[in-house]
Structure 1
Amino acid sequence: MSAALVAGAFWIDYRDYLSSPLSLPDDAPLTFEIKAGSSLKRVVDNLAEQAVIEKPRYILLNARLTGKGTQIHTGEYRLEPGMTVQDFLDLLYQGKVIQYSLTLVEGWNFKQMMTAIHTTAQLEQKTLGLSDAAIMQAIGHGDEHPEGRFMPDTYRFTRGMNDVAILKRAYNAMAGYLEEQWPQRAVGLPYETPYEALIMASIVEKETGVPEERDTIAGVFINRLEKRMRLQTDPTVIYGMGEDYDGNIRRRDLRTDTPYNTYTRGGLPPTPIAMPGREAIHAALHPDETAYLYFVSRGDGSHHFSSTLEEHNQAVIKYQLKGRKRSFSSYNNDEDENQ
């Protein structure tokens, strides 16, 4: 057989092999990882040992012919039944690594957020065991309180990324959104800084069970601030109670002073109490112009809003006391009470 015929046969076999299916064990998906510093040859040899690749020399030949052998990306890859050898090569050359996701939920506090991060197995944990201050130092903001500083969202990442990188992305997303939205705020709001708006947004986030009410709830709190009424919102009291909160809030809790007790202290609390989402931030910066000063839960997630204490008292009797008229703080004409 002439050299030309041999070469032709080899080339046909090479092309046929590229279009042939991979040999996946049990015809099931197979996951493998390319670590930093790994060569294509090492990857191919490992897969050949598992009988996934039958002709590794053809893989290496393709890498030389295309010049892409040095461009493979580190990360985790998944091979699916039915994939061809060429599909495998495209996966490597294009860096189509497995993407994982971590969702940070609106209304979570910093502790809840860090628990979610530290229990995400695919993340490298660099902040595990660190104090809140040390975590903020690790992301370059050691002089800031962590609460509310991170944007709730779903973050995509690859195996081996560390938690500090995720925290930086979430921090920058929140800082960027505030910077973008602050100049567009409504005129005359009682905030001196974007941080004060962030604090308000966190309260709105925790008080809102029905998304359509965010702007109205923000409007109520703005009205109370402007009239120098205390905000008197239970979520701030709960936050101030910390580990003492057992799922119930009692009258004595409302009377126990902490920096976050908006029943005993005027104005905004010193920091946010949770992670507000974009909608809550927008509500804090664009509240409804309303006469409402009070609201009470209807028990279904929505609220009844009132402009006067008398109307509010009647709503409390209807929705909270099941129609039974009895003594309670705002009913006793304490006009700085918000049930």
Structure 2
Amino acid sequence: TRNWTEVRQFNLMFSTQIGSLAEGANTIYLRPETAQGIFVNFLNVQKTGRMKLPFGIAQIGKAFRNEIVARQFIFRMREFEQMEMQFFVRPGEEMMWWNRWKETRMAWHRALGFGDDKYRFHDHEKLAHYANAATDVEFAFPFGFKEVEGIHSRTDFDLGNHQKFSGRKIQYFDSETGESYVPYVVETSIGVDRMFLQVMSAAYCEEPLEGGDTRVVLRLPAALAPVKAAVLPLVKKDGMPEVAQKIVDELKYDYNVVYDEKDSVGKRYRRQDAVGTPFCITVDGQTLEDGTVTVRHRDTMLQERVAIDRLHAMVDEECSFRKLFRKLDL
């Protein structure tokens, strides 16, 4: 209890001035979370959307925190992107919904396919002043288990205080019970930068091959891969580039696909492995005879013959978010 340092003021929020002239300018603060805009606009959204409880409002945006130490690459930054949802429920039902959103959000993370053992919950023992329950979804980064998402039961603290200090009612009229009340809120808040770091660190793989070679492969979930398919003519002659371009033209309106004819087909496969492209579609001599192409799968490197008219359905089935959503079993 001795040798305390002098009391010091920490700047946890970034301040700036609003006003074109220095004299008379007002000090304002950059927001440390995106949630408050949702609460301020709660009634606007609820009434214009004719929403009934329970319902959620979600948004994505920048937040700013004056971290004492920014570290671990993009894991902890002073300027970062947040995705948040505030889910409004009846008072007394918040714990039921908090548990339900815990299960739903964990199911989403595990649906990405990086391994169930890579995730865990960390329940908070010391709660923030606005919460009556809180947990984090943690992921096993290369530097240990760290938070990527927070799930909080915020009670009616935010809406109640906006109502108190604005002097305007921010209440929901429940037609089923005939009551007006301030809804309770369950929040899910995920850091986009942390999620990106999680996906990249989990997907990156240096894989040994037969013969002593190594390939770099980015095992991105197909739904998240920036490029869904690469179309490759085996050689730059005999009409193969023309057929390959027709395949690109067929797929490009629904998916981001690339055309690549430079270097050997093996080198082109490696390039696509490194950027996480799920499929390589090769046009070869047999294509000109029977209208089939060679499809190489990124993760297994297995190849199969597929009819050109089946390509769109194959890419759609593997790369659509529907496949991820089915795993949630909601």
TM-score calculated relative to the size of structure 1:
0.20
Structure with the greater relative contact order (CA < 8 A, sep ≥ 6): 1 or 2?
1
Q: Which structure features the higher share of helix residues?
A: 1
Q: Which has the greater radius of gyration?
A: 1
TM-score calculated relative to the size of structure 2:
0.21
Q: Which structure features the higher share of strand residues?
A: 2
